[in-house]
Amino acid sequence: MSDKSLAARAPSGTHDVLWPESTRWEGLLARFADQVERAGYGMTHTPIFEDVKVFRRGIGEGSDVVGKEMYEFEDRGGRTLALRPEGTAPMVRAFVQHRPPLPWKAWYATPAFRYERPQAGRYRQHHQLGVEALGPSDPDLDVEVIGLADGYFRSLGLSQFTLRINSMGDDTCRPAYLEQLTSYLAGRRSELCDEHRDRLEANPLRALDCKRDACRQATDGAPGFADHLCEDCSAHFARVRAGLDAQGVPYVLDHRLVRGFDYYTRTTFEFGSDALESAQNGIGGGGRYDGLVEMLGGPPTPGIGFGMGIERILLACDAEGVFGIDPPVLDAFVVDTTGGTSARDLTATLRANGLSADRAFDDRSMKAQFKLADRSGARWVLIVGPDEAASGTVSLRPLRGAGDQQTVAVADVVGTIQSAMADIPGEAPAP
C-alpha cells in the first residue's frame, strides 16, 4: 500500500548523496584531509548540537543566522540546544573546554543547519570543511590559512574563482571607523534603500554589502575600512597581503566585504566561484576572530579559520567540468552459470586475499551477469560454467585492456590475478 500523503522524500532543503555521487564526497574529504594535515592540522569532532548560547554569544544576536535561521530546540531535560549553523563557534567552545596546547590547529568536516529558503547551492542542511588555528596573532598564519583554502580549490582543478580580502580592524580602530561610516551614511540617508535606511544605526556595515543600486551608489564614496585601520591592524594587513603576493595567491581588495558573523576582526576573506551563475556562488570564507575565545569564556586568544561548502564546491566543479565522478573499479567479477555456489566461494576467497570482487545473484542469465560485470568496472571476469565446474577450473577473461581468455585451476586464480596486477604500475592490490 502506498501512501502518497507521506511523501517519501527528504525534508525541504536537505538532500541524499547516493553512490556514485558519494565517491566525489569521499574524494573531496580525502584531498582536504591530506592537504591540511600536511600543514599540521588535526581532525576534530564536536557535537552536532550545542547549547544555544555558544552561537548566540559567538556569532552574535544581531546576525541573521542567529536571529532567524537556527534550528533551535528544547530537549527532554529542558535544555535549549541548537543544531550547529556553522563550524567555528563549536570548535572554539571545544578549545575553551579542553585548553589544548597552543598553537592549536584543527580541521573539521561537518553538516551545518540553517533555516533558510532553499535554492540551488543553498541548503538547510549543508556540509562544510574548515580549519581553525588558535594562538598566534602572526599575520603569516593568516597567509597560511588563506593559502590552504586557495591551494585546496586549485588541487581540485578549480581555477575560475576569486579571492576577496578585507580587514575589519579591531577594538582599537573599529569604533572610530564605524562612527565615520555612520555619519557618512547618515548624510545620505535618503539615498539608501528602505531596508538599510532603517538599520543604519544598528548595523551600518551592512549597507556596504547591499546589492541594490541605491545603496551601491550611496556607498560608493564611503570610507573603506582598510584606509582607517589603526597602526597595528594596518601593519598586520600589509603583511598578510605581502605574504599572499609572495606566495602567488591572487586576491582582490574589497572594502565592501562584510562578513555576517560578529566575531570577525582584522583579516576577512571570501572565495567566490566565477563559474556559477547563481547568487549563491560563495564557496568558502573566513577570517580572524581574535576576541571569540574570550566571548566564549576562555583566555584572550587570537584565532583564524575558514569554512567552505561542499555542495557549492561540487557545483563549481560541475560548472568548470573538473573533479568528476570516478568510474567504479573492481578487480574481479564472478560469472557463475552453475547455480551460484562457485560465485559464492570464489568471491569470498578473492576478498580474503585482498582483492575486490563481486558477483550476480538470483541465478541470472550469462548475458545478464556479463552486463553486471561490465557495469561493475571489473578488470577480470571469472567464468564458471559446467565445463569449469567439472574440471575444477575457472576461465579468466580480461574485461578491459589487452589479453586473451585463459583457463586456470581454481587454486591458482588468486595468484594469477595478483601477478597480472603486479605487472600494471599502480594497480597492485594492497598487501
Q: In the window 329-358, what residues touch RNA (CB under 7 A)?
A: 335, 337
Nearer of residues 48 and 368 to RNA, judged by Cβ = 368
Instruction: State the burial class of residue 395 (Cβ atoms within 10 Å of its Cβ: 0-12, 13-18, 19+).
Output: middle
Candidate ranges 99-107, 162-170, 275-283, 291-299; the one touching RNA (CB under 7 A): 275-283
> By C-beta, is 244 or 276 nearer to RNA?
276
Give me 397's grid cell. 577473461
Of 44-63, which residues contact RNA (CB under 7 A)?
63
Of the candidate spans 64-72, 90-98, 179-187, 414-422, the one that interacts with RNA by CB under 7 A turns out to be: 64-72
Residues 23, 325 contacting (CB under 8 angstroms): yes
Q: Based on CB atoms, which residue is closest to RNA, 70 or 233?
A: 70
- Check binding of 160 to RNA (CB under 7 A): no
Of 234 and 338, the one with the shorter C-beta distance to RNA is 338
* Strand partners for 287: 268, 305
200 interacts with RNA by CB under 7 A: no
Least distance from C-beta 341 to RNA, angstroms? 15
Binding of residue 38 to RNA (CB under 7 A): no
Strands 303-309 and 125-134 turn out to be: antiparallel
Stretch that binds RNA, among 36-44, 177-185, 304-312, 416-424 (CB under 7 A): 304-312
Is residue 274 a contact point for RNA (CB under 7 A)?
no
Closer residue to RNA (CB): 248 or 386: 386
By beta-carbon proximity to RNA, the closer residue of 135 and 284 is 284
Nearer to RNA by Cβ, of 181 and 372: the residue is 372
Separation CA 265–CA 14 (nearest Å): 32
244 versus 378: smaller Cβ distance to RNA: 378
How many chain residues bind RNA (CB under 7 A)? 76
Indicate which single residue of 13, 42, 103, 328 sits in contact with RNA (rule: CB under 7 A): 13
User: Nearest distance from residue 77's CB to RNA, in Å?
Assistant: 28
Name which of residues 380 to 409 contact RNA (CB under 7 A): 381, 383-388, 395, 397, 399-400, 405
Residue 170 as a binder of RNA (CB under 7 A): the answer is no
Rule CB under 7 A: is residue 212 a binding residue for RNA? yes
For RNA, the binding residue among 51, 69, 232, 318 (CB under 7 A) is: 69
Binding segment (CB under 7 A) for RNA, from list 89-97, 239-247, 306-314, 317-325: 306-314
Give the footprint of RNA on residues 96-155 (CB under 7 A).
112, 114, 116-123, 126, 128
Cβ nearer to RNA, comparing 62 with 157: 62
